A and B are shown apart, each in its own frame.
Chain A
Amino acid sequence: MSSDRISVMVTAGSREQLQMAAMVASVGAVSGNDVTVFVSMNAMKFFVKDSTEKAPADGEMGVLLEEKNAPDFKELFSQAVEYGDAKIFPCSMAVDIMGLKQDDLESFVSEPLGLTAFLGDASEGQVWHF
C-alpha cells in the first residue's frame, strides 16, 4: 500500500468547507496516507468540546448536506484519527487568542502546533486548504 503525506489546513467556518476538509482527512487517512490537519481561524470554534453551534451553510449545498443526512464533519474528523491515525492540530495562535486550554478541545484533537512546525510537515506531499 502506498503511503503519502497529506497536509490539510482548515480555516473556513462554513459547513461546506468543513465537510470537504473532513472528507479529505478521513478518506485520506483510512487509505494509508499520513494525514496532518491544522485548524485555525473561523474553523477553530467547531473543535471546542461540546460546542453545539452549527456551522452555517455557504449556500444550497450546505443546506442539502444537513437535510440529506450527510455524515457529520466532526464525526469524520474523529474517524480520521481513530481509523486512520490522522493527527489534528489546533493552531497555537488560535488557541492563545481564544483563550483555550487543551481540556477545552475535542478529545480527538492533539496538542497545539505552531505554523513553523506545520509548514515543515507540509513541505512534502499534498497540501489542501479549506
Chain B
Amino acid sequence: MSERKIVDAKNTFCPGPLMELIGQMKMAEIGDELEILSTDQGSAADIPEWINKVGHEMVETSENDGVWHIVVKKIK
C-alpha cells in the first residue's frame, strides 16, 4: 500500500481545507491515501460530500480534540 500523506489544513475555514485537499490530490498517484486535518466542522461534513460526488473513496473519518481526520483514497 502507498504511504498515507497528511494534509494539514487546520485553522482555516470552508472551503480552504477542501481546496488544500484537491491541490494535494492533483499531485497524488491513483491508489494513494490522503488524510486531511481540519478544525472546521463545516469542512468535516463538506469534504466527504465532495469525495462522494467526484467518485473518490472515503476511507474513514474521526474527530479528536476538535480536529477532524478525513481519509480519502484517490481512485482516478
Q: Which residues of A contact B (CB under 8 A)?
A: 1, 23, 26-27, 30-32, 68-71, 75-76, 79, 83
Contact = CB atoms under 8 A, between A and B. Distances in A.
Given A27-B46, A31-B53, A32-B53, 13 more contacts: A26-B19, A30-B22, A30-B54, A31-B50, A71-B13, A71-B15, A71-B19, A76-B19, A79-B19, A79-B22, A83-B19, A83-B23, A83-B26
25 contacts: A1-B53, A1-B54, A1-B55, A23-B14, A26-B15, A26-B19, A27-B18, A30-B18, A30-B19, A30-B50, A30-B54, A31-B53, A32-B54, A69-B13, A70-B12, A70-B13, A71-B13, A71-B15, A79-B19, A79-B22, A79-B23, A83-B19, A83-B22, A83-B23, A83-B26
A15 to B, nearest CB: 14
Contacts of B46: 27
Contacts, number: 43
Interface residues of B, number: 16
A70 B23 CA distance: 17
A69 B19 contact: no
